[in-house]
Amino acid sequence: MIFAYNPEYVGDTLLIVTNNDKGLPQKVTRKGKVARIQTEDQCTVGWNIFGISQLMALQDVGQVELSQQQIGLLNETIHEAGFTESLPEIEGPKFVVGYVKTCEAHQDSDHLSVTEVEVDQGKTLQIVCGAANIREGLKVVVAKPGAMLPDGTIIWSGELRGVQSYGMICSAKELRLSNASEKREILELPQDKSIGETFVV
């Protein structure tokens, strides 16, 4: 779930992305200060909350982090407007330190690799990666499904050359870190970084 706020370009509106629209046509249902965005198959993919500053103070511009209490307030607003759905609970950080447990060549590509990356509490994600420097044993930055990169790109689960990929292993350039290399390579983290540790973008 992604929250974005940019009053200069969008107005006093909180944009909420809850799901991947998969490029399907969308329809909007507005009730008062709340608008629900759904795809043609009735999947809710987002919400707009208008006049958000009357409900809560948002200091940041761009992607913003909300507390569970603030999400509860948004759910109250959604229900008061006449919708029965609720926003899900916070799932934890979207950018974390991962450990590449396995790395194998993609069977249908000369440059892609299929990795198993441990992200937290023993949980692993299969991620397809195209970086030349990807290899087993690295500590890396993982953008989990639902993460938003600094340029606004949202990472969703998908399929690359017939193989499922659940997130992305990030480069310094994609994270917009200072002195980032122009080469297409992932960021290699020090080995003393803890698996599952939040990486601040």
Task: Write down the pLDDT at residue 7.
Answer: 93
Residue at which a domain ends, from 18, 46, 81: 81
**What pTM, to 2 d.p., does this model score?**
0.80
Q: What is the mean pLDDT of the chain?
A: 93
87 in a domain, yes or no? no
Average pLDDT over residues 169-174: 94
Q: Does residue 101 sit in the same domain as residue 77?
A: no
Q: Which domain holds residue 161?
A: 95-198
Residue at which a domain ends, from 46, 81, 116: 81
Q: Does residue 99 sit in the same domain as residue 77?
A: no
89 in a domain, yes or no? no
Task: Write down the pLDDT at residue 34.
Answer: 98
Task: Write down the pLDDT at residue 128.
Answer: 96
Cβ density class 100-109: b for 16+ within 10 Å, e for less? beebeebeee
pLDDT exceeds cutoff 90 at 201: no
Query: What is the token pair recorded at 115?
Result: 């990795």
Q: Does residue 104 sit in the same domain as residue 170?
A: yes
183 in a domain, yes or no? yes
Q: Tell me which residue of 182, 190, 151 sits closest to 168, measured CA to CA.
A: 151
Q: Tell me which residue of 17, 14, 13 sits closest to 2, measured CA to CA.
A: 17
Q: Does residue 136 sit in the same domain as residue 172?
A: yes
State pLDDT tens for residues 139-171: 999 999 989 998 889 999 999 888 999 999 999
State pLDDT tens for residues 22-71: 899 999 999 999 999 999 999 999 999 999 999 999 977 888 889 899 99
Q: Does residue 70 sit in the same domain as residue 124?
A: no
Q: Does residue 73 sit in the same domain as residue 106?
A: no
Residue at which a domain ends, from 54, 81, 108: 81
First to last CA, the chain: 16
What percentage of the chain exceeds 90 in pLDDT?
Answer: 78
- Provide CB contacts within 8 A for 198, sequence distance 6+: 93, 95, 96
SS3 13: strand
88 in a domain, yes or no? no
* Angle formed at CA 99 by CA 134 and CA 96, multiple of 5 degrees: 105
90 in a domain, yes or no? no
